[in-house]
Structure 1
Amino acid sequence: MTAPFRRIAVLDIGKTNAKVVVLDAESGAEIAAVKIGNAVLRDGPYPHYDIGALWNFAIEALTGFAAAPGFDAVSITTHGACAALLDADGILALPVLDYEHPYDPAIRAEYLSLRPDFSETFSPSLSAGLNLGAQLHYQKKAFPDAFARVATILTYPQYWAFRLTGVAANEVTSLGCHTDLWLPRSAAYSPLVDRIGIRSRMAPLRSAFEALGPISAAVAQQIGIGAEVPVYCGIHDSNASLLPHLIGRSAPFAVVSTGTWVVSFAVGGDMDHLDPGRDALANVDAYGRAVPSARFMGGREFEVLTKTIGEIPPEAAEQALAGVVERGLMLLPNVVPGSGPFPGRTMRWMNDEGATASERSAAASLYLALMTQSCLDLIGAGGRILVEGPFALNRIYVAALAALTGLDVVALPGSTGTSLGAALLTGIVPKTAPARLQEPSPLPSLSRYRDLWIAGARA
């Protein structure tokens, strides 16, 4: 039964940008949206997110949307590898740490002796603070006085739910996102929570689909809402992208969620042969089930490449594609080091003498498709591939992915599926939006190109 909501406001905080959108419950379409950059502050004990600016942005956006177009429920989605540490008064005891911060090697070495084995957590050992357990251990060791004041630890979407409602919670999609803190197959905390002494501080577990409460009276007055508006627990952003496809679809199939990170999910894929050394892992979906996954920082890589190559019209890159494939002009991993299926590699161009900007742009799109195919292979993906997010608009990427895998690839409309996935937590059942199916495409010499690229990537 559909919940009696007409419009859902979603607070959507990604690693690069934050936005607040309003979605129509019947169609699932975004009918209003505002966005800001997600700044990292360099003051204080370590790089951290500008929580004050994000909160002011959210309140201003909700205030404006309360007037028009209106909303009658709120949901939340954020990036992973992040937690908020609150004192007994519900105030941050330490800043919310940026997961890209590299910290003291001695503390990291100690943490590596504490973390459970991949066979238990399906969480690979990642760089900097990409394992949330590593962040918490670092904060406890480096800032013992501040950490001693921590009364409650919240996963990041649930921190924003707490700010809106005053209700503290944790949720499994964020706990199951390469944190080292969760056992996906037994749906329980890992031994790490006791090894670093935080079990008693972890907020109660609640379902992503659960309304934690109405917007608090103080916040409701601030944004100009009279009636009670429920706030839903919230969800990790890649899992928000996955959720719409879990409803009414049978395995096997794959979802490629593109943003700062390109995260590939293989529903019905291979959980028994995941390679933690190549950034393959298990995520946990909104229903608490383990899903084999693999990832690389594709959106960040494309941003870096665009700054170097320049903004190229899609048509110009598409016209250059055949020549790029024929001459073997290619980009090898990694543009952004430290993650993905080819760790430890440093980017380099091959056969790029005299290459034009259009040719480099086409090769960059092929690079992203080849990296994605490598991720899908690692997790045993089968069936139809659903691409959501910005890369769904990249015609070279979508066509190449279909040709490389030999599978149907569906490019989903809209800039991101995270907001829709978060809105679905409220129980709405929107109409299915049209999608673009890309049949396997016989791009010239692509199998040879792929073989050369894989050989170069592994060299």
Structure 2
Amino acid sequence: MKPVPVIAIFDVGKTNKKLFLFDEHYRIVFERTARFLETTDEDGEPCENLESLRLSIFDSLREVFRMPEFEIRAINFSTYGASLVYVDNQGTPIAPLYSYLKPYPEYLKQQFYATYGGESKVAEQTASPILGSLNSGMQLYRLKYEQPDVFKKLKYALHLPQYLSSLISGIASSEITSIGCHTGLWDFGRSAYHKWVKEEGLLDKMAPLVPSTEVHSACFPGNNYAVGAGLHDSSAALIPYLANFTEPFVLLSTGTWCISMNPFNDSVLTEEELNQDCLCYLQYGGKPVKASRVFSGYEHEQQEKRIIAHFKEEKSRYKDLELDEEVIAKLRKSKPAKPEFSSRNLADFDTGAEAYHQLMLDLVEKQLQSTNLVLAGTPVKRIFVDGGFSKNAIFMHLLASAYPEIEVFAASMAQATAVGTALAIHHAWNTKPLPTDLIELKYYSNARFV
């Protein structure tokens, strides 16, 4: 039997590390999930076990290369962002993979922003809110000043996707979606590294910059396959939508954070937008994407628990709750909008269902404020919602009613990040045209509220 041509995608999250094999129709034909115990850095802070991750990738590749039913034509990587691997001349890590949650020293922060014009100026130029270690460029700045002996040995600071790619290709590179995502490294106005990178002597510590579509030859044993340069996971998840839809849209990706992404908005961020948690990052085609975020998934989880406990209900009580228009009408008349549902007294509600409807009204109100930041002044006619809230009928109906001039869809597709990572190098392994049926849509009409 002739082996099936496939691409192997490593999708590395903070918790789960996944391997997928996709056929030429982008159907999953093999998958595996692994988890590793974290280790600690020299300060006792938790961090990724880089060696376990490296060995797991090698072991997984050896396994799939031994499968006669598959022909591996390409490999690519997507990982979480804001994480740098420091390597020497041999490509060997010389420091831990520090966590982006590690507290950032206040004295270094003050030193940096005093030198380069202040927080507001740098944030505006780099389209990055001030986020401490989540601005990965600040991690490299910290290494220079806190660990000069390690810094002397440093050949390149590689973002995690590009480090994993280098393990298989032997080629160190920097890639635009990793460099351009709240790193503080990229000057969006100049489309180049920010001047501080050069002035700190860090420019030669950044590997050559390549496009997201770049492929290299492999040095890892196996057949003749291509190796992608790797992508930042949020950027990768947007690729299937860009591949399938040409009319302007906003993607609302919902999870712990609800992130509104507008790839059709490249306006310069204002100080006010930055203060409201707006940022820009670079999509795989190199264009800016304006994004805003709100912590709604986490808030929903906490407040749903509070409602269930107060009204002594089953844990799954609100899993598939349908919208009750009479309850919504009553709440809109009697309960003024509040910025946080957590400040509401649950004794003011007659039932748990009524309280839950109020929670969704409050969350959608916050979502509108966030999404409107990236919608303003753009010709967007569609909003695609994926993730957890796309399955919440109350959220979807309320969102649709709030945007009568825009079509609102619940969108679903399996493993959007991994599929996007494969699509980025479609040209290097796939003989078939780009598929147009990757995303399943469900339209939500606002007519019931008119």
Please state which band the TM-score falls in when normalised by the shorter chain.
0.7 to 0.9
CA positional deviation for 1:51: 1.7
State the alpha-carbon separation in 2 of the partners of residues 292 and 183 from structure 1.
15
**What are the superposed Cα offsets for residues 85-138 of structure 1, whole Å, 9 maximum, x if unpaired?**
112221212111111111221122222224553342222222x31111222222
State the alpha-carbon separation in 2 of the partners of residues 299 and 75 from structure 1.
29
Alignment partner for residue 350 of structure 1, among 341, 344, 356?
344
CA positional deviation for 1:361: 5.7
State the alpha-carbon separation in 1 of the partners of residues 337 and 343 from structure 2.
5
Residue of structure 2 in register with 1:338 after alignment = none
Range 99-108 or range 117-126, more displaced: 117-126
CA positional deviation for 1:367: 5.0
2:90 equivalent to 1:92: no
Residue of structure 2 in register with 1:454 after alignment = none
Q: Which has the larger radius of gyration?
A: 2
TM-score of the aligned structures, taking structure 1 as reference length: 0.80
- Call closer, same or farther: CA 1:246–1:89 in 2, change over 3 Å: same
- Call closer, same or farther: CA 1:167–1:414 in 2, change over 3 Å: same
Residue of structure 2 in register with 1:74 after alignment = 75
Residue of structure 2 in register with 1:339 after alignment = none
2:372 equivalent to 1:377: yes
Residue of structure 2 in register with 1:438 after alignment = 443
Which AA in structure 2 matches 1:242?
A: L
Alignment partner for residue 227 of structure 1, among 191, 204, 223?
223
- Call closer, same or farther: CA 1:240–1:434 in 2, change over 3 Å: closer
State the alpha-carbon separation in 2 of the partners of residues 130 and 301 from structure 1.
21
**What are the superposed Cα offsets for residues 139-181 of structure 1, whole Å, 9 maximum, x if unpaired?**
3222222222211111221111012221100011111101111
State the alpha-carbon separation in 1 of the partners of residues 8 and 317 from structure 2.
34
Residue of structure 2 in register with 1:411 after alignment = 410
State the alpha-carbon separation in 1 of the partners of residues 102 and 24 from structure 2.
39
Name the count of aligned residue pairs.
Answer: 420
State the alpha-carbon separation in 1 of the partners of residues 367 and 232 from structure 2.
21
CA positional deviation for 1:301: 4.8
Conserved? CA contact 2:127–2:269, under 8 Å: no
**What are the superposed Cα offsets for residues 35-85 of structure 1, whole Å, 9 maximum, x if unpaired?**
244754344334321222333443444444442763321111112212211
SS at match of 2:322: helix
Alignment partner for residue 267 of structure 1, among 260, 263, 266?
263
Alignment partner for residue 177 of structure 2, among 173, 181, 198?
173
- Call closer, same or farther: CA 1:97–1:297 in 2, change over 3 Å: farther
**What are the superposed Cα offsets for residues 172-193 of structure 1, whole Å, 9 maximum, x if unpaired?**
1111101111123432111121
2:134 equivalent to 1:138: no
Q: Unaligned regions of 5+ residues in structure 1, if any?
A: 221-225, 335-346, 446-459
Residue of structure 1 in register with 2:311 after alignment = none
Residue of structure 2 in register with 1:247 after alignment = 243
State the alpha-carbon separation in 2 of the partners of residues 369 and 38 from structure 1.
36
Conserved? CA contact 2:174–2:208, under 8 Å: yes
Residue of structure 2 in register with 1:425 after alignment = 424
State the alpha-carbon separation in 1 of the partners of residues 321 and 231 from structure 2.
36
Structure 2 matches for 1:237-386, cutoff 5 A?
237-247=233-243, 249-269=245-265, 271-272=267-268, 274=270, 275-301=273-299, 311-312=315-316, 314-318=318-322, 323=327, 326-327=330-331, 348-353=342-347, 366=361, 368-379=363-374, 380=376, 382-386=380-384
CA positional deviation for 1:286: 0.8
Which AA in structure 1 matches 2:261?
A: F
- Call closer, same or farther: CA 1:82–1:43 in 2, change over 3 Å: closer
CA positional deviation for 1:402: 1.8
State the alpha-carbon separation in 1 of the partners of residues 259 and 331 from structure 2.
30
Conserved? CA contact 2:321–2:393, under 8 Å: no
Conserved? CA contact 1:17–1:36, under 8 Å: yes
Alignment partner for residue 216 of structure 2, among 193, 202, 212?
212
SS at match of 1:139: helix
Range 403-412 or range 387-396, more displaced: 387-396
Conserved? CA contact 1:271–1:282, under 8 Å: no
Structure 2 matches for 1:391-406, cutoff 5 A?
391-406=389-404
CA positional deviation for 1:288: 0.9
Residue of structure 2 in register with 1:344 after alignment = none
Provide the identity percentage. 27
TM-score of the aligned structures, taking structure 2 as reference length: 0.82
SS at match of 1:101: coil
- Call closer, same or farther: CA 1:359–1:423 in 2, change over 3 Å: farther
State the alpha-carbon separation in 1 of the partners of residues 73 and 362 from structure 2.
43
Q: Unaligned regions of 5+ residues in structure 2, if any?
A: 309-314
Residue of structure 2 in register with 1:341 after alignment = none
- Call closer, same or farther: CA 1:14–1:258 in 2, change over 3 Å: farther
CA RMSD, Structure 1 to Structure 2 (Å): 3.2
Residue of structure 2 in register with 1:108 after alignment = 109
State the alpha-carbon separation in 1 of the partners of residues 304 and 364 from structure 2.
16
- Call closer, same or farther: CA 1:273–1:178 in 2, change over 3 Å: closer
State the alpha-carbon separation in 1 of the partners of residues 69 and 361 from structure 2.
41
Residue of structure 2 in register with 1:54 after alignment = 53
Alignment partner for residue 186 of structure 1, among 164, 184, 190?
190
- Call closer, same or farther: CA 1:152–1:438 in 2, change over 3 Å: same
